[in-house]
Homo-oligomer: A and B are copies of this chain.
Amino acid sequence: MSCLPSLITNTAEEGYKVAIKLSRMAVKMTQPDDASREKMRPDYANNADSLIQVSLVVATNFNTVAKANNYWRD
């Protein structure tokens, strides 16, 4: 598994990147072959519905990361 760093970040923008990373990790663990994943890229990168679902996954992970960081309020 690609190494998952701490959920704690300095800014919301860094936290968003962790949410992206978390979203990709599950895909990599389910389809570990790099070439297979790369081959699917045009399928979702040019499909509006796929991109909307990608955004839903990131939103779910960002919900977790933002809470972990107390919404960077402190």
Contact = CB atoms under 8 A, between A and B. Distances in A.
How many copies of this chain does one complex carry?
6
A10 interface: no
Interface in A28-68: 29-31, 36, 40-41, 43-64, 66-68
Contacts of A62: 22, 61, 64
A35 B26 CA distance: 23
A68 B57 CA distance: 19
Nearest to A8: B73
A33 to B, nearest CB: 8
Interface of A: 1, 3-8, 11-13, 16-17, 20, 22-27, 29-31, 36, 40-41, 43-64, 66-68, 71-73
